[in-house]
Structure 1
Amino acid sequence: MVNSADLRSDRDAPLFWLLILQLVWAPVPLASNRTWAVGILLLLTCALWLGAVWIFRGQWSAVWARCLQFKLPIGILLGILLVITFQTIPLPHSILTTLSPTVGETWHRVAPLGSATLSLNAAHTQLQAALCLIYASAFLFTVLLVRSARRMNTLAYALIGMALFQALLGGYLFSVEAQYELFTSEVLHDRMRGTFVYHNNTAAMLAMCLSVGIGLFLVQLEKSSPATSKRWLVHGLDFLLSRKMLLRLALVILVIALVMTRSRMGNAGFFIAMLLSLALYAVYSQKTRKVVLVLLASLIVIDIWILGQWVGLDKVVARLEATQISKAEKKELAAQAQQQASDELNFVKPRLEESVEERALPIAYARPAIADYFWFGSGAGTFYSIFPQYRPAESRGYYDHAHNDYVEILTDYGVIGASLFALLVLASFWRIIRTIQTRSHPVAKGIALGALMAMLEIVLHSTVDFNLQIPANALLITVIIALGWCASQVDKAPPSLTRVPPPAAD
């Protein structure tokens, strides 16, 4: 029987680098959050598929055997794609009313004749179907191509390099307070943004890549021989001149960039995810427990506290402290500040941080929509279309997203689609944690830790933002999850996994 050991890394290397190109490119055009930018990602995905058809010709049994090792997540992603596709299929009104009474009633008022779709905006749902195809393909090609520890390290370094580019570019634009119009969008770099429009999305990207970097740094530490008390100076000099030092400097830059975004949940979510992940890693890595604790202490003391204070951590803390619970409390503070300014003949209007209640307003308004579109949702990508009918007339502002990925997934995909997302996340958490518990391979454990940390950060950050609705960030977390699944299988196969020996001469 042909298995994944027959796949040759020297043949599919172009596909691997094309996958990396797609990941690195995705954040550049405003995080690919434009229709034409999605088209470019789709073209790169088509190139991956066409290249795979050519490169893997005659090896489909081996490809199938490799995919069967990850049949659960691949099957879930296909299920999500089928749900979105089903939302765009025209159905008779009688069937629509049975499946979703609210959708059937809406279409009966708008277009009583002919058929209609479960999606209230089929064009946008088709766009989301294209994005889902891009994400599912990225997951598939990651688990198919990343079969060795060497490629796993290469992909992790590529993600860190991408984040470094965003950090350095964003730092420069922030330092000069750049302001310009790009692709019909006004961009003001009053915070660290990089090539993103919204600073919280930048923070999520930096936190995810930083998580992978910490996992990669632990890989380097686990590969090192333990230093004795007599040779500590030699090992210290070796560290300063090694690749580990360059990686450590990269982590410092990413931490500085994350702090400079001044994202409250971006920084808080990363800090919580880092503590939980490293604590779990220390429990199941007794040999390197001291190293993990030293790394954690250095990240907290040197990166977050000392360097964070230098680049503006106090401003992030001030934003958190200034975040009021309710609008009433905020109005009272604003009135007090205005009165104090008036007494001092200074009529500058005080600027207060958005309260928790204000951030949660679209979530509260959208809650009835979950019940109205309970099973199949209103259609992927249709939140902005249905939200106006649920918000009160006196509310202000434009909301294209719910500022909560869980609420938006429930309204767009319904319970059926949301259950598939939840199943993918839970299964991935389980597989990654089991990898940390059971594997002794340093690359497998380190990359699994980075994936766990990135997933925890997104799980926390998604409670107040919409990172999963941004193509660049959604693609990034999809590949990181795929890396977590790859870590469970890396180097388990015989050495012939990556190269087939030439046939013997007659």
Structure 2
Amino acid sequence: MEIYSFFMLVSLIWIHKETVLERLKPFRIPIILFSIFVVWVWVQQLALPVSVIELVSPNSYALFKSAEVGYGMTISVDSTQTKTSLLKSASYLCVFISCLLLITTPSRAKQVMLCFLLAGVWQATYGSFEALSGLSRSLVFDLPVKNIATGTFVYRNHYANFLVLCLSMSVGYLVSTLETRSLPTNRARLRSILTTLLNGKALVRVCLAIMVIALVMSRSRMGNSSFFIAMTITGLLGLYLIKNKTRGLTFLIISMFVIDIFILSAWFGLDKVQERLVATSLEQESRDEVVRDALPLLGDFAVTGSGMGSFYGIFPSYQSENIRLFYDHAHNDYLQFAIEAGIPASALLFALVAMCLYFAIRAMRVRADSIMRGVAFGCTMAILSAAIHMTVDFPLQAPANATYFTTILALSLLCTKVKRESRRRRSKRHNAEGHLWL
């Protein structure tokens, strides 16, 4: 993934070498924020003079001294893991910039949403099949199979978050296909319904149902909660912000709740998710104790961080005796980023995400193009769901999720920048899509 992302960006810069700076100029602030973070991760793993380490990161210096390391000290307490994180972070930056260079028209944005849809359906179909098939070992990692869907992921919460990201963009795709004007007669409404059945919207709705079933079968409490909370918030925002909206948007939002929650999900284990939510208590869960024990880490490494990827190695020396499990992550991405990168560097990333969310919400209000409005809807829903999920888990530690989330951030910035296609070009695209669906 890293090699491909590096090669892709270098190729794009070479192809557009005369216009690349002009193309990226509207996005210079987000790119700078992202780039500074990556540069800081690079600095964390550099071998620096002992006097510099003692000055900028006294706690890292103390740890190296206790291990009798007299030279080659780094800000990171685990430079090997930080180098790995550096490669991943640089890869995500390359994906981010590549998306900004490639997605230049609404039709391309729509193709990206279709990629999310196809990836989500594939994972949902495979995960559901594996959970229902009665197999004893998984086909991908040869792990024990339970009656819980995990797809090609090891951790079910990563699987659930991936599905939520794909679901969000798929809902955005469906929003982009809705009528942009009210239909005056019953005949016109009937014609619209028949068109919906013929041009692929019904198939998309079936795909959404398949993903919701798999999401429920993952038994992920926060995965399911974040999806439905984000869908509710985004739906209300869409009803309030989108101009010239029709009954289709309202019907879509209501149908997502009625069909997915009360009918489809009830058949595939929503009651089990509810049981897990009800049974959840602070006495049974140790994640809150992990957060509690990790807070001193934040105090010790607030400015420079302990080094990206170092949490699993340094946390055991801080955890209390009543935590008997091994935690390689903080189960709170906000806290883990702040511990590993430091509060200033983490603030840059959070500012980037907040900026992308603002542009997505703004695009729902100002954009007249139905495709970009659907992209804005999907991006808003995806960012909100990830923000909710990150409070109790670590969804962005999985490269697949982080890559898809990075693509969504790029799409959010493009919502207000990509120009509307001409009527002639849009007509050709609609005809091509109609033939493709048929």
Once the two structures are superposed, residues 321-349 of structure 1 have per-residue CA deviations (whole angstroms, 9 ceiling, x without a partner) of: 1112x31xxxxxxxxxxxxxxxxxxxxxx
Q: Distance in 2 between matches of 1:448 and 1:290?
A: 19
CA contact (8 A) 2:103 2:109 kept: yes
Q: Distance in 1 between matches of 2:387 and 2:134?
A: 31
1:4-83 correspondence to structure 2 within 5 Å? 41-54=1-14, 56=15, 59-83=16-40
Match of 1:132 in 2: 89
Q: Secondary structure at the match of 1:116?
A: coil
Task: Output the aligned Cα RMSD.
Answer: 2.1
Q: Which moved more, 1:103-112 or 1:44-53?
A: 44-53
Q: Distance in 2 between matches of 1:493 and 1:255?
A: 33
Aligned equivalent of 2:348, options 401, 420, 429? 420
Q: Distance in 2 between matches of 1:179 and 1:144?
A: 45
Question: Measured at CA, do residues 182 and 248 of structure 1 come closer, stay the same or move farther in structure 2, by a change above 3 Å?
Answer: closer
Match of 1:204 in 2: 161
Match of 2:433 in 1: none
Q: Secondary structure at the match of 1:186?
A: coil
Q: Distance in 1 between matches of 2:127 and 2:260?
A: 19
Q: Cα distance, 1:492 vs. partner?
A: 5.4
Q: Cα distance, 1:107 vs. partner?
A: 1.2
Q: Secondary structure at the match of 2:143?
A: strand
CA contact (8 A) 1:282 1:289 kept: no
Q: Cα distance, 1:293 vs. partner?
A: 1.6
Q: Distance in 2 between matches of 1:290 and 1:154?
A: 26
Q: Which moved more, 1:315-324 or 1:263-272?
A: 315-324
Q: Which stretches of structure 1, 4 residues or more, deviate above 6 A after TM superposition?
A: 181-185
1:340-359 correspondence to structure 2 within 5 Å? 354-355=284-285, 358-359=286-287
Q: Which moved more, 1:42-51 or 1:127-136?
A: 42-51
Q: Distance in 2 between matches of 1:158 and 1:267?
A: 22
1:329-478 correspondence to structure 2 within 5 Å? 354-355=284-285, 358-478=286-406
Question: Measured at CA, do residues 183 and 320 of structure 1 come closer, stay the same or move farther in structure 2, by a change above 3 Å?
Answer: closer
Aligned equivalent of 2:177, options 220, 227, 243? 220
Match of 2:252 in 1: 295
Unaligned stretches of 5+ residues in structure 1: 1-40, 328-353, 499-506
Q: Distance in 1 between matches of 2:229 and 2:138?
A: 36
Match of 1:28 in 2: none
CA contact (8 A) 2:174 2:204 kept: yes
> TM-score under structure 2 normalisation?
0.92
Match of 1:245 in 2: 202
Q: Which amino acid counterpart does residue 161 of structure 2 have in structure 1?
A: A
Q: Cα distance, 1:53 vs. partner?
A: 4.8
Q: Which amino acid counterpart does residue 145 of structure 1 have in structure 2?
A: L
Match of 2:189 in 1: 232
CA contact (8 A) 1:260 1:311 kept: yes
Q: Secondary structure at the match of 2:177?
A: helix
Q: Which moved more, 1:186-195 or 1:303-312?
A: 186-195
Q: Distance in 2 between matches of 1:105 and 1:485?
A: 43
CA contact (8 A) 1:93 1:108 kept: no
Question: Measured at CA, do residues 191 and 149 of structure 1 come closer, stay the same or move farther in structure 2, by a change above 3 Å?
Answer: same
Once the two structures are superposed, residues 423-479 of structure 1 have per-residue CA deviations (whole angstroms, 9 ceiling, x without a partner) of: 111111121122112211111111011001000000000011111111110111010
Aligned equivalent of 1:102, options 24, 36, 59? 59
CA contact (8 A) 1:99 1:376 kept: yes
CA contact (8 A) 2:361 2:376 kept: yes
Match of 1:304 in 2: 261
Q: Distance in 1 between matches of 2:107 and 2:239?
A: 24
Q: Which amino acid counterpart does residue 441 of structure 1 have in structure 2?
A: D
Aligned equivalent of 1:170, options 127, 139, 150? 127
Match of 1:17 in 2: none
Match of 1:345 in 2: none
Q: Which amino acid counterpart does residue 373 of structure 2 have in structure 1?
A: K
Q: Cα distance, 1:184 vs. partner?
A: 7.1
Identity of matched residues, %? 32
Q: Cα distance, 1:182 vs. partner?
A: 7.4
Q: Which amino acid counterpart does residue 87 of structure 2 have in structure 1?
A: A
Q: Cα distance, 1:409 vs. partner?
A: 0.5
Q: Distance in 2 between matches of 1:218 and 1:459?
A: 22
Q: Distance in 1 between matches of 2:191 and 2:179?
A: 18
CA contact (8 A) 1:187 1:197 kept: no
CA contact (8 A) 2:160 2:223 kept: yes
Aligned equivalent of 1:144, options 79, 87, 101? 101
Once the two structures are superposed, residues 344-383 of structure 1 have per-residue CA deviations (whole angstroms, 9 ceiling, x without a partner) of: xxxxxxxxxx43xx22121111110000011010000000
Q: Distance in 2 between matches of 1:395 and 1:297?
A: 43
CA contact (8 A) 1:283 1:289 kept: no
Question: Measured at CA, do residues 456 and 264 of structure 1 come closer, stay the same or move farther in structure 2, by a change above 3 Å?
Answer: same
Q: Distance in 1 between matches of 2:335 and 2:93?
A: 22
**Which protein shows a greater Rg?**
1
Q: Secondary structure at the match of 2:187?
A: coil
Q: Cα distance, 1:230 vs. partner?
A: 3.1
Q: Distance in 1 between matches of 2:22 and 2:298?
A: 40
Question: Measured at CA, do residues 120 and 172 of structure 1 come closer, stay the same or move farther in structure 2, by a change above 3 Å?
Answer: same
Q: Distance in 2 between matches of 1:384 and 1:175?
A: 34
Match of 1:486 in 2: 414
Q: Which amino acid counterpart does residue 470 of structure 1 have in structure 2?
A: A
Q: Distance in 2 between matches of 1:210 and 1:459?
A: 15
Q: Which moved more, 1:111-120 or 1:80-89?
A: 111-120
> TM-score under structure 1 normalisation?
0.80
Aligned length: 426
Q: Which amino acid counterpart does residue 211 of structure 2 have in structure 1?
A: L
Match of 1:338 in 2: none
